[in-house]
Amino acid sequence: MTWLLFLEQCLNGLQFGLMLFLLAAGLTLVFGIMDLINLAHGSLYMVGAYIAATLTRATGSFLLALPLSIAATAILGMLLEVAVLRHLYRRDHLSQVLATFALILIANETTRAIWGVQSLSLNVPQALSGSVHVLPGVAYPAYRLVIIAVGAAIAALLYLLVTHTRVGMLVRAGASNREMATAMGTNIGRLFTAVFGAGAALCALAGALLGPLLAVQPGMGENILILAFVVVVIGGIGSIRGALVGAVLVGLADTFGRAFIPLALKHVASTSIADAAGPSIAAISIYLLMVVVLFWKPQGLFPARG
Amino acid sequence: MRLRRHAWPLVALALAVAYPLAARALGQEFYVGFASRVLIMALFASSLNLLVGMGGMVSLGHAAFYGAGAYVVGIAATEWPAGLGAQALAAWPLAMAVSGALALAIGAVCLRTRGVYFIMITLAFAQMIYYVFVSLKAYGGDDGLSLAKRSTLPGLDLGSDTAFYYTVLVIFAAALVALARLGGSRFGAALGGIRDNEARMESLGFPTYRFKLAAFAIGGALAGLAGALMANQNAFVSPNMMHWEQSGVALVMVILGGLGRLWGGFAGAALYLALEELLSGFTGHWQIVLGAVLLLVVFFAPRGIAGLFPGKP
């Protein structure tokens, strides 16, 4: 193992972690404030990626498609909140699971009906397709660096928004104690719709940015949804700071596991066994991380509920 | 004509017994295999209903025990095809024992948490087991494992879909009777008490953790039996049987059918699979309709299908 490989994997882990954070941020707020288990959160990510891919093809410009897809997904998210999800806030978690599972089915099938079962390709913008020397002699894809920068900027922006603005204060109040926030005269209905729209926008951003790296296909939301839930639980439900720390931890664990566990296994087992078991052990390491965190901190790393 | 309440299960049983004869008379033998699948999924969903409905333990990892039971049958048939591995009377109880033991071990850890954390930690364990089987190349890994034939049962040819259907029916009926007895027992009453108010049951002196763990292990063993049957039905097992989406489908069936209701698992599995079968005949995009139906159930039948009929909740 060389230090260059280590550095490269650190950047990869950070990049994946920050994208997970974009998904987990919306999820943790919806979960913490509205007390809604939204399995359909991954569907918004999928829809965002599809809209971005389609608009990129239509306009020929990824930079133009990005804000448009974010806006479109945010509007779709708010419509969804007003039409369906709003009526689920006071229901038990199981009804929410059933209803949002139904939304997953509808979203995946509608996607298949519109775009077909084949995965869509979304290319890295021409200007960003090269690599950059992050250190003398160390080349790293420029596009991934941009993703890291955008993810870090959004994280900083969200942090400022939540800790230093009036809206952020309302959000924190809602996450800490919803009944009390309502009693103090907060217009909870409008706040909820706005938070949901923001969560949908972040989903679309993640979907559009990851589109060129992963396949844009029906059902793409479900696997990443589970990882986002793991992040939310590790970080503490309702906590943006927890989501950031949890996302980076999960991103690094996933990337390091994939890169180094097969290498380490090759020292103790045959190559074929290492190749077969390595990715699985890497996937398992994420869940192990969650079990360990919950063992020490049953409410997650940064519990938000007062 | 009004039937007495305990007559209804007998009517249902008579219909189930007559079903393959009717299917054969109508030349629709394909639907015998379909009915076996419904009964097996009903067993799986009922085992989850024991946890979620009776015990208030919302598990999103129940498919791990279902898949483990299937793999016990698959691996036993691969390793000892000529010996006990192919015998239903050996492999199926072994599947129950392995799944039950697995549930005991996993439940012992998971039951120290509550609510959403319980959901997530059961999910985590199930996903870990899923990835273990994905990496087991000796047993097919990602591609799964095909069975040469169904298990053998003395005096019956399980290769025949009709004989297999009746075997599944007997097992499902026995499981339902056992679950009904369990629900009416002191154990079931204590479990319901724990679901409604655990702190109170604890202060009354009930060892609530042990009660929940026992229910979790029984549910796991029944799920393992369902997995063993499904492995026989499809002559195929794959890691997808333990994927979290399978746990999700089982949970949806339970909520759809009726939480904590004896017939909830059956009603949910039958409606879900029938809709899938029926709609996929009409349109390739049947999942949209299925999703819409599920949404309607959430908003207009909040206690599930069984909740539309009178009976104890």
Do the chains contact at A290 and B288, CB–CB below 8 Å? no
| A280 touching B (Cβ < 8 Å) | yes
Mean pLDDT of B208-233: 96
Q: What is the largest CA-CA distance in chain B?
A: 60
Which of A102, A272, A279 lies closest to B291 in CB terms? A102
Res. B4 pLDDT band, cuts 50 70 90 = low
- DSSP label at B152? B
φ/ψ bin of B98: left (φ > 0), alpha (ψ from -120 to 50), beta (otherwise): alpha
Task: Indicate the angle between helix axes A220-235 and A93-115, nearest 10 degrees.
Answer: 150
Within 10 angstroms of residue A162's Cβ, the number of other Cβ atoms is: 20
pLDDT at residue number B1: 44
Chain B positions in Cβ-Cβ contact with residue A288 (cut-off 8 Å): 124, 128
Report yes or no: A202 and A26 within 8 Å, Cβ to Cβ. yes
Residue with tokens 């596009």: A143
Measured in angstroms, the CA of B134 and the nearest CA of chain A are apart by 7
Chain B positions in Cβ-Cβ contact with residue A276 (cut-off 8 Å): 135, 137, 141
Which tokens is A211 given? 């589109």
Do the chains contact at B132 and A283, CB–CB below 8 Å? no
B8-49 pLDDT tens trace: 788 888 888 888 888 888 877 778 889 999 999 999 999 999
pLDDT at residue number B312: 54
| Higher-pLDDT residue of B81, B229 | B229
- Quickly list DSSP for A227-286: HHHHHHHHH-TT-HHHHHHHHHHHHHHHHHHHHHHHHHHHHHS-HHHHHHHHHHHHHHHH
Long-range contacts of B75-84 (CB under 8 A, 24+ apart): B75/B139, B75/B145, B77/B147, B77/B148, B77/B151, B78/B139, B78/B145, B81/B148
Q: Which residues of chain A have pLDDT under 50?
A: 306
Q: How far is CA A301 from CA A178, A218, A296, in A?
A: 21, 33, 9
Q: How many CA atoms lie within 13 A of B304 on its CB side?
A: 30
Do the chains contact at B299 and A87, CB–CB below 8 Å? yes
List strand residue ranges (DSSP E) for chain B, in order: 145-146, 236-237
Within 10 angstroms of residue A166's Cβ, the number of other Cβ atoms is: 7
Which tokens is B93 given? 């109880």
A106/A100 Cα distance (integer angstroms): 10
Within 10 angstroms of residue A69's Cβ, the number of other Cβ atoms is: 27
The phi, psi pair for A214, rounded to 5°, reads -115, 170
Q: Give the residues across from A139 on adjacent strands.
A: A133
Res. B3 pLDDT band, cuts 50 70 90 = low
Chain A positions in Cβ-Cβ contact with residue B138 (cut-off 8 Å): none
Which of B285, B292, B293 lies closest to A112 in CB terms? B285
Burial tier of B25 (Cβ tally within 10 Å: 0-12, 13-18, 19+): exposed
Which of B294, B296, B300 is most worth mutating to test chain A (most A CB atoms within 10 A of its CB)?
A: B294
A189/B258 Cα distance (integer angstroms): 31
pLDDT at residue number B99: 97
Which tokens is B241 given? 């049987």
Chain B positions in Cβ-Cβ contact with residue A250 (cut-off 8 Å): none
ipTM score assigned to the predicted complex: 0.82
| B64 touching A (Cβ < 8 Å) | no
A196-230 pLDDT tens trace: 999 999 999 999 999 888 888 888 888 889 899 99
Do the chains contact at A95 and B302, CB–CB below 8 Å? yes
| A84 touching B (Cβ < 8 Å) | yes
pLDDT at residue number B311: 63
pLDDT at residue number A1: 53
Mean pLDDT of B90-109: 95
Query: Between chain A and chain B, how many beta carbons pairs sit less than 8 Å apart?
Result: 118
Measured in angstroms, the CA of A102 and the nearest CA of chain B are apart by 4
The phi, psi pair for B192, rounded to 5°, reads -65, -40
Do the chains contact at A284 and B292, CB–CB below 8 Å? no
pLDDT at residue number B203: 93
pLDDT at residue number B191: 94
| A269 touching B (Cβ < 8 Å) | no
B232/A23 Cα distance (integer angstroms): 40
Do the chains contact at A95 and B259, CB–CB below 8 Å? no
In angstroms, the first-to-last Cα distance of chain B is 25
Contacts of A18 (CB under 8 A, 6+ apart): A147, A148, A151, A152, A154, A155, A247, A248, A251
Q: Taking the domains of chain A in order of start, what are their residue ranges?
A: 21-296
Res. B182 pLDDT band, cuts 50 70 90 = very high
Q: Which residues of B185-211 are buried (b: 16+ CB within 10 A; e: fewer)?
A: eebbebbbbbbeebeebeeeebebeeb
pLDDT at residue number A183: 78
Do the chains contact at B58 and A102, CB–CB below 8 Å? no
Do the chains contact at A291 and B124, CB–CB below 8 Å? yes
Contacts of A298 (CB under 8 A, 6+ apart): B113, B117
Helix (H, G, I), strand (E, B) or coil at B274: helix
Averaged pLDDT of chain B = 89
